[in-house]
Homo-oligomer: A and B are copies of this chain.
Amino acid sequence: MRDVTDQTPVELLVCTTCRRGLPIEDDNQRPGALLHAALAEAELPDGVHLKAVECLSNCDQGCSVVLRGGPERWTFVYENLNETDDIDVIVEGATKYHATANGIVPWRERPVHFRKNCAARIPPLGA
């Protein structure tokens, strides 16, 4: 893996309004909010910035996150994540994404959950 010290910063967007189909009434206990809280406690690398967003509009396949980072990287949307099992997956995926110049982590190096739960990818503005 290349030296990442001068990489363009990455945003890890987490949909905090996601209910993951559950009848949750307390907004702070929504699965999306819990996922965001768990990631805020996790060891994300420098240069990966966690950001809460309201509704990524992928409600049927939540929880969802987005990885994006500057005009040269592809943006990725990942789905079917949860706050208890998938924190390590997201940290690993975000770390590897951050280490790329174009956002494309080689297929075999991606976490298995990311391989199987990509909702969409969007080309970089610079492409």
Contacts of A66 in B (CB 8 A): 120, 122
Inter-chain contact B122/A75, CB cutoff 8 Å: yes
Q: What is the CA–CA distance of A123 and B57 in the complex, to the nearest angstrom? A: 11
Inter-chain contact A58/B119, CB cutoff 8 Å: yes
| A119, A120, A123, A127: most-surrounded residue (chain B CB, <10 A) | A120
At the interface, yes or no: A13 with Cβ under 8 Å from chain B?
yes
Inter-chain contact B120/A53, CB cutoff 8 Å: no
| A55, A64, A76, A119: most-surrounded residue (chain B CB, <10 A) | A119
At the interface, yes or no: A77 with Cβ under 8 Å from chain B?
yes
Inter-chain contact A123/B53, CB cutoff 8 Å: yes
The listed residue (B55, B56, B120) touching A57 by CB distance below 8 A is B120
How far in angstroms is the closest Cβ of chain B from A70? 10
Q: What is the CA–CA distance of A81 and B118 in the complex, to the nearest angstrom? A: 18
How far in angstroms is the closest Cβ of chain B from A1? 22
Contacts of A113 in B (CB 8 A): none
Contacts of A123 in B (CB 8 A): 13, 53
Interface set of A (CB-CB < 8 Å, partner B):
13, 53, 55-58, 64, 66, 68, 75-77, 118-123, 127
